[in-house]
Amino acid sequence: MVLKVGDIITFERTFTVGDVELFTEISGDEGIHHITPDEQGRLIIHGLLTATLPTKVGGDNNVLARTMNLEFLRPVFTGDTIICEVKIEKYERQEKSRTAIIASFLCKNQNETAVLKGDFSGVIL
């Protein structure tokens, strides 16, 4: 798939308790809110685990990231389905067979509530 400015790529994922447990083990982030269920039996998803949605879209397109800006707007809980829309803002061929890319993203939960927004830049080799 050849990307162009204005393209919107969508990816969604439903987070599970197993996802949180694995990320806790890998990251070492054992914040009480990630390991103790709330009154509804849910765990809060690690912010950086939520941020894997836009990085997956980048990875699918062979982006070597240089910068990533994240703004965490609302908590994400186990059982939430997060839909991430990535918009290509810049896609420009450079020297040495590289392509510069800048993209913005917005992640919303199943209730259409924005939970994460930001942007990233990098190169495609």
- What is the mean pLDDT of the segment spanning 72-93? 96
CA distance 66 to 124: 11
Q: Say if residue 1's pLDDT is above 70.
A: no
State the chain's mean pLDDT as an integer: 93
CA distance 92 to 76: 34
- Per-residue pLDDT of 24-81, as tens digits, reads 999 998 888 888 999 999 999 999 999 999 998 888 888 999 999 999 999 999 999 9
CA distance 4 to 87: 10
Q: Do β-strands 114-124 and 63-72 pair in parallel, antiparallel, or remain unpaired?
A: antiparallel
Which tokens go with 71? 């703004």
Per domain, the residue ranges of the chain are: 8-124
Yes or no: say if 117 and 73 are a contact pair by the CB < 8 Å rule.
Answer: yes
pLDDT at 98: 85
CATH of domain 8-124: 3.10.129.10
- What is the mean pLDDT of the segment spanning 13-32? 93
pLDDT at 58: 84
Instruction: List the beta bridge partners of residue 102.
Output: 90, 121
DSSP assignments along 82-101, one per residue: EEEEEEEEEEEE-STT-EEE
